[in-house]
Structure 1
Amino acid sequence: MTVIDIVAGARPNFMKIAPIIHAMERRRNAGGPLRYRLVHTGQHYDARMSGDFFEQLGIPHPDVNLGVGSGTQAEQTAGIMVGYERLLLDAPSAACLVVGDVTSTMACAITAQKMRIPVAHVEAGIRSGDWAMPEEINRMATDAVSNWFFTTSAFANENLRRSGVAADRIFFVGNTMIDTLLANMERLRPADFWQELGLEAGHYFVLTLHRPSNVDGTDHLERLLDAIGAGTRGRPVVFPVHPRTRKSIETLVNLPATLHLVDPQPYLEFNHMVRHAMAVITDSGGITEETTVMGVPCMTLRDSTERPETVSVGTNEILGTDPAALHAALDRLFEHGWKKGGIPEMWDGRTGERIVTALEGLLA
């Protein structure tokens, strides 16, 4: 029996590991050789940010919870590394599988590699080119110590090749986030506030903001929200507020009347909102993948993206962080001038199976 660690720690991780866990369980029931140990680092420790996802996505409760909790990036990194090292000393695994680009991903990848345990990185090779993003540092550090690279796009493949990664270590498998979305599309359900806010399909916006460049400066955040309030022409704007953003929002006095602040939403409710929105305004990367597959117009308030396929193929456009850019983009949306978009290669719901097949070949 070959046991691999599957590491998760923050909200985006849970959507990415679910298809891998489900594929591994199906293969195990059919006599497959791999088993997993689910390691939750505790980087996101709030039920709204993590706990709901286990139930909604059918993920078993973790075998291990390192319980790192809150802290600075350095404190969280250190806590995760100490906890994961202790686990591996007590009970080593055959491999460590990490997903995405959060602190837990980088910390566990480095710890495993130092203990001579091979590392597989799911969503490897994506790059924004923006070193001001903590996630960009996490991606680069994780890829630097990974043995095997599971990629979502041709762009990611090329980034890895340019950095010197051999072709036989790169596995172009698709996007596990999309596996999860497609598997749950018919289970999406309205949030409790749907009726209360009078939401109608195609007649409201969804907003998410959490990047430091957008939310840490209250003057800039206020200008962004004013531009969104003005440009959305009286339509409701539903804003699930990230804990980081709430600290800045609470200092603002005059928020647009159409802006509705709500708590972070569970997976099924959040994606129901996205699916039926007129458009999404965001600074997230993962949401741009989901809007692309659902065909929902998406406006990204960043200067770069690590997911260029959502722009070249999908429904996403990069507007930058200047609030003035929103006016023209929203006018184009209301005038039915937004691009239709398509679905990137291999974003077909079968990525988890491809990953497990590759791992069986590498480890069994």
Structure 2
Amino acid sequence: MTKKQTIHLIGAARPNFMKIAPLYHELKRRSWCDPVLVHTGQHYDQGMSDVFFRDFGLPAPDLALGIGGGTHGEQLGKVVMAYEKALTDAPPALVTVVGDVNATAACTLAAKKLNLPVAHVEAGLRSRDRTMPEEINRLVTDSICDLHLTPSQDADENLLAEGVPASCIHFVGNIMIDSLVAMQPAIKAQPHPFPQLDGRRYGVATFHRPANVDDGAMLKVLVEGLTALAARLPLILPLHPRTRARLQAAGLLAGLEATAGMTLCEPLGYTDFMRCVFGAALVVTDSGGVQEETTYLGIPCFTARTSTERPITVTLGTNRLIAVADIAGLPVDAAHGAQAKPLPLWDGKTAVRVADLFEMYLSAGAPLRQG
């Protein structure tokens, strides 16, 4: 290749940026390509996006679609329309989507309608729970993209079972761990965001899934469980805007704020949040990425969901699925280090493998998936 190849990297929400950053920096080092950051704007306030760009050393997006909030259908439709226009004006050699947010499926649809090649980083993860919007996004994206870049071997098995050609599947490892490995020295050097807890035993909690926070009765059980747990172990609870709004609407926010042992805060940047996780005795969550990070670090994680798209964190890691009603009685003296070593290819070098693969793929003419 003599001419630089343009590669779009699509981001929309906080988890995307920590997956995009290692790949952006690796591609930027390569002379044959030009990575272009595309921010659809699903998380559009400073607390939910700008701080992550700063933490990961990302420049301002090259292309900002400015979609903002809305229902799932509204977000999908607006992203498809806006990104289709951008692709028509200046089509890249390759579109790269990550994870499972609405923009992942929407940008894949827009690109494939124009017969452009699409690579999905973190392909093949399945929760088997189609009530989760993220599961639908994963299924839609993987059914039509061209390159499936998987974080674990169970993801390869899922894709093969769904009829994806083996030639399209590439086990590259977990790119989230690239960010963790790269940022680990800075995280350890970071002052604790809550110095009163530094050196003490405490837990970290994060909740935002509709199944846990949208139903008033379930939200009440969640608050009761967190309150009871905080009486036994101080908790740090960064509040996702969605969760804060639901708590306020249900009249539960003031009581939670007044709970002894509970430290509520706004969403934290990556280094601040991970500094809290590094010192935590346990994490209780309904999130996805923190299941992987705690497994890598050997920190007990309790995931309040009926299923996980990251089963390797349960079978080989420190993660355990629980019911929301179980939160109150969680063991607060669990030991660290049950799985403190990286799982296969969770080694901080995934971005290098992906960049190498992209170069070979584009050199071969970026063949589109058949079948």
Provide TM-score, normalisation by structure 1: 0.93
- 1:189-241 per-residue CA deviation (whole Å, 9 max, x = no partner) reads 2454x12xx10335111000001111112332222222233234432211000
Over the matched positions of the two proteins, sequence identity in percent amounts to 45
Please give the alpha-carbon distance, in whole angstroms, between the structure 2 residues aligned to 1:338 and 1:21.
Answer: 33
> 1:267: which partner in 2?
270
* CA spacing shift, 1:14–1:337, aligned 2, 3 Å: closer
> 2:220: which partner in 1?
222
8 A Cα contact 1:149 1:171, kept in partner: yes
2:228 maps to a residue whose letter is A
> 1:72: which partner in 2?
71
> 1:51: which partner in 2?
50
* CA spacing shift, 1:151–1:140, aligned 2, 3 Å: same
Map residues 171-182 of structure 1 onto 2, 5 A cutoff. 171-182=170-181
Q: Secondary structure at the match of 2:84?
A: helix
> 1:247: which partner in 2?
245
Q: Does 1:296 align with 2:299?
A: yes
8 A Cα contact 1:314 1:343, kept in partner: no
8 A Cα contact 1:229 1:259, kept in partner: yes
> 1:132: which partner in 2?
131
Gaps of 5+ in 2: 364-371
Please give the alpha-carbon distance, in whole angstroms, between the structure 2 residues aligned to 1:152 and 1:110.
Answer: 22
Please give the alpha-carbon distance, in whole angstroms, between the structure 2 residues aligned to 1:9 and 1:293.
Answer: 25
- 1:294-352 per-residue CA deviation (whole Å, 9 max, x = no partner) reads 1111000000000001111111100133x1x2355x23x42x47781253110000000
- The alpha carbon displacement at 1:34 in A equals 1.8
The size of the alignment, in residue pairs, is: 352
* CA spacing shift, 1:308–1:201, aligned 2, 3 Å: farther
Root mean square deviation of aligned Cα:
1.5
Please give the alpha-carbon distance, in whole angstroms, between the structure 1 residues aligned to 2:328 and 2:267.
Answer: 27
Please give the alpha-carbon distance, in whole angstroms, between the structure 2 residues aligned to 1:212 and 1:17.
Answer: 25
8 A Cα contact 1:313 1:343, kept in partner: no
- The alpha carbon displacement at 1:271 in A equals 0.4
- The alpha carbon displacement at 1:56 in A equals 1.2
Q: Secondary structure at the match of 1:300?
A: strand
- 1:12-68 per-residue CA deviation (whole Å, 9 max, x = no partner) reads 10000111111111222xxxx222221111111011111011111011211110111
Please give the alpha-carbon distance, in whole angstroms, between the structure 2 residues aligned to 1:191 and 1:199.
Answer: 8
Please give the alpha-carbon distance, in whole angstroms, between the structure 1 residues aligned to 2:37 and 2:116.
Answer: 16
Please give the alpha-carbon distance, in whole angstroms, between the structure 2 residues aligned to 1:39 and 1:117.
Answer: 16
Map residues 60-209 of structure 1 onto 2, 5 A cutoff. 60-188=59-187, 189-192=190-193, 194-195=194-195, 198-201=196-199, 203-209=201-207
* CA spacing shift, 1:168–1:326, aligned 2, 3 Å: same
Please give the alpha-carbon distance, in whole angstroms, between the structure 2 residues aligned to 1:108 and 1:6.
Answer: 10
8 A Cα contact 1:70 1:76, kept in partner: yes
- 1:159-200 per-residue CA deviation (whole Å, 9 max, x = no partner) reads 0010111111111000111000110011112454x12xx103
Q: Which sits farther off after the overlay, 231-240 or 16-25?
A: 231-240
8 A Cα contact 1:151 1:157, kept in partner: yes
Please give the alpha-carbon distance, in whole angstroms, between the structure 1 residues aligned to 2:297 and 2:216.
Answer: 32
Provide TM-score, normalisation by structure 2: 0.91
Structure 1 segments (4+ residues) deviating >3 Å: 231-234, 336-339
> 1:238: which partner in 2?
236
> 1:311: which partner in 2?
314
